Amino acid sequence: MGLGDIVVVPLALSISICFLSCSRDLLFVHAKEQNLTVTPINYDLYHSSGKFLEEINALVNRHSDMLSLETIKAGNKGYGAEVTVVTYSKRKEETEERSKFRILLSFGQHGRELITTEVALRILYILSGEQSLPNMDQASLNTTLDKLVIKVIPMENLNGRKIVEAGDLCERRNGRGVDLNRNWSVDWGKKEKDYDPYEENPGTAPFSEPEAQIMRKLAISFEPHVWINVHSGMEALFMPYDHKNTTLDDALPLKRMNSLLEEVNNLHFRKRCVVGSGGGSVGYFAHGTATDFMYDVVRVPMSFTFEIYGDGTASSRDCFKMFNPTEKTSYDRVLDEWSTTFFTIFKLGPLRLGDINSKAPSKLDKFVSIDEYLDGYLMERRNRYGKKMEVLDLGMQEIRTYFRLFLLSSVLLMFMFCSRISKAKTNRPVPAMPL
């Protein structure tokens, strides 16, 4: 390595740092010129990502009889991510868990939406019994919770959240600039006329991002009956679809989901939330979203996207204020209203689904790819047996290769068998025809 090689790296870093610093300074200067005030994160109300995860770890340790925690890591092309998953279940034996009603909740998919992660933390505190819901009978709540297994992803996009905390308050994407709610395979990559790569970059391919890969594996292995993806920006209760201006083709799922959302809207929000399909209600189509994948591919009977807060008076540059309450009264109101809403879902969801509450569709009944099935299978084995099973992840490519070779050889053998039968029929002597 020569002297020139030694000098290039720090020089490049200096230029990059200067460019980023100057860009940020220009943003604030422009805001000042327009007489705009950029609201900073209020850490008197909100947890930093580090303190947030510390508090969740401490909560799980205090209630290991009902809460468990797993940190799942993945990487792709030099970019790594980790997702924390908290599981609530009164009895942790797998045979009992598989017979229960299963709920999967994801918060913090977009880095700038801090309020969603605060709701996740409130829900975990209530599940543990350290906090209570206003105006809800605890005995009735306990009866409901005994029948549930709930997996909570309290902060799906940790890398993006760290970028927001570093000062880029408008960042919604992950650590390498991909919108995690555009990286799923259903209608992936389609761009509308108003497409904004800063807001909606779908990545280089479906599931190119480690965070989305982890979530896909988790969903396929867990087989939830209810999926809720929690965002902020407005107040809304959405069901599929996000990528087109139509609701579901099947009338029964439509009625189940719509009736549940209407009841929740009446009970907790005095009908002020928008209710309907994401694509038909929000004013634009979103392609490659998690909720459309959960409904179409994983076959989750009740798949929802909740938007829990939005300040329509805030400037588009004042992102913290636009997506998060900035003072304690509204902050507390959002946490109280939406945590109560989730526990209403926990209670009403099994009733709406009726007989299917203990038997979600089998993986073999779903239109999932071989890769997705194997990913989910290995995730399930690792969750059950712990780190001893992580070696299976190392053999993922080999398992897929052997499985494909098995399928190919089976097809070839069948072809050869059919060809031999056909040839035997062709060579069979033809009896002489009478004169």
Q: 400 and 297 in one domain? A: no
Q: Is residue 378 part of a domain?
A: yes
Is-above-0.85 flag for pTM? no
Work out the angle between the directed axes of helices 49-62 and 114-128 (0-180°, nearest 10): 10
CA distance 334 to 208: 33
Q: Which whole-number Å values give the CA distances from 48 to 66, 222, 299, in the listed order?
A: 26, 29, 35
DSSP-derived 3-state class of residue 278:
helix
Q: Is residue 13 part of a domain?
A: no
DSSP one-letter code for 301: S
Q: 347 and 238 in one domain? A: yes
Instruction: For the beta carbon of residue 165, count every other beta carbon within 10 angstroms.
Output: 18
What does the pLDDT read at residue 355? Answer: 47
Which of 343, 361, 379 is the C-terminal boundary of a domain?
361
Q: Is residue 266 part of a domain?
A: yes
CATH number (domain holding residue 160): 3.40.630.10
Q: Which residues pair with 69 in a beta bridge?
A: 86
pLDDT, tens only, 258-302: 999 999 999 999 999 999 999 988 878 999 999 999 999 999 999
Q: Is the pLDDT of residue 228 over 90?
A: yes
Quote the radius of gyration of the chain (alpha carbons, Å).
25
Q: Which residue has the higher pLDDT, 375 or 379?
A: 375
Domain count, the chain: 2
Sign of CA dihedral 164, 168, 173, 177: negative
Closest to 213 (Cα-Cα) out of 360, 88, 393, 367: 393
pLDDT, tens only, 311-358: 999 999 999 999 999 999 999 999 999 999 999 999 999 998 874 443
- Side-chain-side CA neighbours of 204 within 13 Å: the count stands at 6
pLDDT, tens only, 295-321: 999 999 999 999 999 999 999 999 999
Residue numbers of the domain that contains 375 = 369-417
CA distance 36 to 21: 20
Q: 216 and 72 in one domain? A: yes
Q: 397 and 355 in one domain? A: no
Q: 392 and 347 in one domain? A: no
Which of 361, 383, 404 is the C-terminal boundary of a domain?
361
Please say whether the beta carbons of 45 and 122 come within 8 A.
Answer: no
**Annotated active-site positions, please?**
307
What does the pLDDT read at residue 134? Answer: 79
Q: 391 and 317 in one domain? A: no
pLDDT, tens only, 9-49: 343 434 343 433 443 444 443 444 355 689 999 999 999 99
Instruction: For the beta carbon of residue 330, count every other beta carbon within 10 angstroms.
Output: 15
Q: Is residue 137 part of a domain?
A: yes
Mean pLDDT of 116-144: 92
Q: 396 and 355 in one domain? A: no
Q: 380 and 252 in one domain? A: no
Name, in order, each residue with C-beta under 8 angstroms of 269's C-beta and a sequence gap of 6 or more.
235, 337
By CB atoms closer than 10 A (0-12, 13-18, 19+), residue 158 is: buried
CA distance 199 to 171: 8
Q: Which residue has the higher pLDDT, 97 or 276?
A: 276
Q: Is the pLDDT of residue 148 over 60?
A: yes
What does the pLDDT read at residue 390? Answer: 37
Q: Is the pLDDT of residue 171 over 80?
A: yes
Q: Which region holds residue 276: left if phi is over 0, alpha if psi is between -120 and 50, else beta? A: left
Q: Which residue has the higher pLDDT, 305 or 141?
A: 305
**Sequential DSSP letters for 351-407:** HHHGGGGG-PPPGGGS---HHHHHHHHHHHHHHHHGGGGTHHHHTHHHHHHHHHHHH
Instruction: For the beta carbon of residue 24, count every other beta carbon within 10 angstroms.
Output: 13
Q: 407 and 354 in one domain? A: no
Q: 248 and 111 in one domain? A: yes
Q: What angle do CA 90, 81, 17 make, to 5 degrees?
A: 140
Q: 272 and 396 in one domain? A: no
Q: Is the pLDDT of residue 67 over 70?
A: yes
